[in-house]
Chains A and B, each alone.
Chain A
Amino acid sequence: MLNRFLAFLNKPYSIAPLSNLRVLFGFLMLWSTLRFVFYGWIETQYNEPIFHFSYFGFEWVSYPGPTWMYVLFGLMILSSIGIMLGLFYRISAVIFFLSFTYVELIDLTNYLNHYYFVSLLAFVMIFLPAHKSFSIDSLRNKNNLATHVPYGFIFSVKLLLAIVYFYAGVAKLNHEWLIEALPLKIWLAPHTSLPLIGPFLDELWVAYLFSWFGAIYDLSIPFFLFSKKYRSLAFLAVVVFHITTWILFPIGMFPFIMIGLTTVFFSADTHEKIQAFFKKEKVVIQEQILYKPQNLSLLTGLFFLFFSFQILFPFRYLLYPGNLFWTEQGYRFSWRVMLMEKAGYAIFHVTDPDTGRSWELYPKDYLSPMQEKQMSTQPDMILQFAHFLEDSLKKQGISKPEIRAEVYVSLNGRGSQLFLDPNQDLTQIKDSFAPKNWILPLSNR
């Protein structure tokens, strides 16, 4: 069995899908990065906030100051061009992965599943021989040329995409999504002014149709994309699905990234035809040059670990008590995309035991609107913010401030309710993987 699988991974396969993926990935990343810069988001998301939320375990990633932010984005732009052209590919891939991931790690506020996906794919790209054809590297150095690669390289990208879709589908298999059509019931209704489909979007059955179609689509599309027979139909579904989500929801580049990258599922033949179209001279079919990676077993081991992690990590939520959507313990990094309508409002009560005085602090005086919005519904961020307040109060000479959070959260159209234990002094709590027992249980209406 293992031998058959290894043989499957080592089977020579045309490099064309991989080199095309490289060009597309580089192009999409260049586009995304430029878009981010031109929208002024470096300023609003990174430079303007006075406080940045850390990822647990990555507190050492700090905001480097405005100049370095521009340097990091400059590196992202240059390295994505490098990836796209296949110029100094490996170095470009490493730089892109590091700069992109560093920027993402600066502020948890900006967490998006698709940023996480880009980080993962950028990591995988480092190890792919995607520059061995259709690239400047391979033009400059003929030794760098290959026509075929072990199929495992291509399969790893397909597998990563398949995991994203399938897990997004699994995440939709819950009572609220399937039986209550939530949150789509809330989200679709305001879009009645859209042309063509608009008038139907406030119909209840449409919310159910979208919910069920979304779940079935996510669960089945990887299999259809792998199947030769239904591949083109599946890709059409990919395009329609993502364009629809792009029209309905503010999800930025994600639809285009997914549409672009799923082309990796096309046959080698299709990819070669696409490349032939762009090549000036029609090259005569040469002999097969197979790229043979050094350290194959090391690479296989690394990919095995990587994918085991991808498959297992999203299920960590099972280790936590309570409603996952409510507590969000084990929510991130699990392809839970557009799953809930959640809004909150947080008030921080400060007590100075030395004077016995109590007063209130409001996040809006310290955070950007985006930061406040994200923090107000996520317990770990509320805790981080309480610690930030504690530090700034200590600087003002209040030696032992007590900080309690009064937070109201509404989930999927339930009335707002108290989110955290309002009597818990948050300065006494350190974040950890342990269940947060100061989150109050969700009561249904």
Chain B
Amino acid sequence: MSFKINIKELSMLTAGLLVMLFSCVDSTEETKVQIDRKPLLENLADQVIIPGYTQLNTEVTAMNSSITTFLNEPSPSTLSNARSAFIKAYVAWQKVEFFDFGPAFDQTLRAQVNTFPTDNFAIDNAIATGNIQLQSLSNNNKKGFPAIDYLLYGENKSDADIIADFTTNANASTRKEYLRASIEDMQTLVSRVSVAWNSGEGNYRSTFVERTGTDVGSSLGQLINSLSQSLEVFTRDAKVGIPLGKRSQGILIPKNAEAYYSGNSMLLARSNVQGYLDVFKGSRTTEGTNPQSLLAYLNQLNAQYNGGSLSSALEQQFQNSLSKLNQISDPYSRSIEAQASIANEAYLELQKTVVLVKVDLASALGILISYQDNDGD
């Protein structure tokens, strides 16, 4: 069985086909996509991620000292200072929560710092028995911001009640101890992550900017996977959807709101969504977009969405989510019933954001989302 194939004929045919092809290609289309991901990653590290962790570290340190002052001299003014430092640190946390890779992943920072709802009964119990252990995995829902939120605000407690808790009430000293342990634990974790990104030889920044691929282990791959996971599970669900009954057959669960005791859920959610936008714009300042940003990169890739650019669709979608969140008043746990329809709209905007990130963005970047090691074909 043999076929006689004339190489000359074949090469002429191929050449002919190629000429036809290139005359078909729209000549206005860009012929070269300028892609260099290193500056993109450097910009992300230097303008967004590291400043984010640095700010968090600063705010946590400030919170630490304000709360220590409160613990040393409980009074309305030290309580108020402690609380405002707490809110500032919590707001700063929202802008790095979604970086669940590298040092933060190694330290399981997110789970240790912001697992909510916090187990207030277990906290009371630990304070009553004096058995304070924050290190084990099962204690992630008894520490971090949600636990401090509970200790500094309590449920339906006046400022005087809180001060009494830390001065005259039974177990006041173990309560102090619990709060102190919580802030120390958080300080340790946060500074470890911050240091890992910043300091000296072999810091994570250099690892981050060197992994310029788009495969699973690449920085962009990890970042996008982490962002999309966080957007879905923590922003859409935990911050908005779950209290709204989205996972409980429509039955509201106000107590599952983030920062339930201080009632700052929406303040935090807005900071969080603004944080994603900062990542995409490659800048933590309000003005403009950095030329080395993800949005600019998407434009270089010529990524499209419904006749427009994917980058502007994404930016617009984050803005839409923000403006809906803005219409919900804090405390979310109380506004949730009266403002259920606007909360639903906010939820839907976040849902659309999830789709854009998980489907369009990942597709445009050629990144495997929700990666599980396996073959494809």
Contact = CB atoms under 8 A, between A and B. Distances in A.
Tell me whether A and B are bound partners. yes
Interface of A: 8, 39, 41, 44-45, 110, 112-114, 155, 178-179, 186-187, 189-193, 202-205, 208, 212, 216, 220, 223-224, 226-230, 249-254, 337-338, 341-345, 347, 350, 352, 357-360, 364, 368-370, 372-373, 408-410, 413-417, 445
Given A208-B21, A338-B376, A341-B363, 19 more contacts: A44-B373, A110-B374, A189-B33, A189-B366, A190-B214, A193-B212, A212-B18, A216-B14, A227-B4, A227-B5, A229-B5, A249-B376, A342-B363, A343-B360, A347-B351, A350-B249, A369-B370, A416-B355, A416-B360
A179 B26 CA distance: 10
B375 A202 contact: no
B338 interface: no
B297 to A, nearest CB: 11
Interface in B299-336: 301, 303-307, 310, 313
Contacts of A187: 366
Given A369-B370, A410-B363, A415-B360, A445 B304 contact: yes
A190 B241 CA distance: 35
A254 B377 contact: yes
A398 to B, nearest CB: 9
A227 B301 contact: no
25 contacts: A179-B25, A186-B363, A186-B364, A187-B366, A189-B366, A190-B214, A192-B36, A202-B35, A203-B31, A208-B25, A227-B3, A230-B5, A338-B376, A343-B360, A345-B358, A360-B247, A369-B371, A370-B372, A373-B370, A414-B304, A415-B310, A415-B313, A415-B360, A416-B360, A445-B304
B170 interface: no
Interface in B21-35: 21-22, 24-25, 29-35
Nearest to A222: B3
Contacts of A193: 212-213
A373 B354 CA distance: 14
Contacts of A224: 3, 5
A294 to B, nearest CB: 26
Given A226-B3, A227-B3, A345-B359, A45 B374 contact: yes
Chain B, interface size category, equals 35 or more
B364 A202 contact: no
B17 A212 contact: yes
Nearest to B374: A370
B304 A190 contact: no
A178 B18 CA distance: 10
Contact of B35 (A113, A189, A208): A189
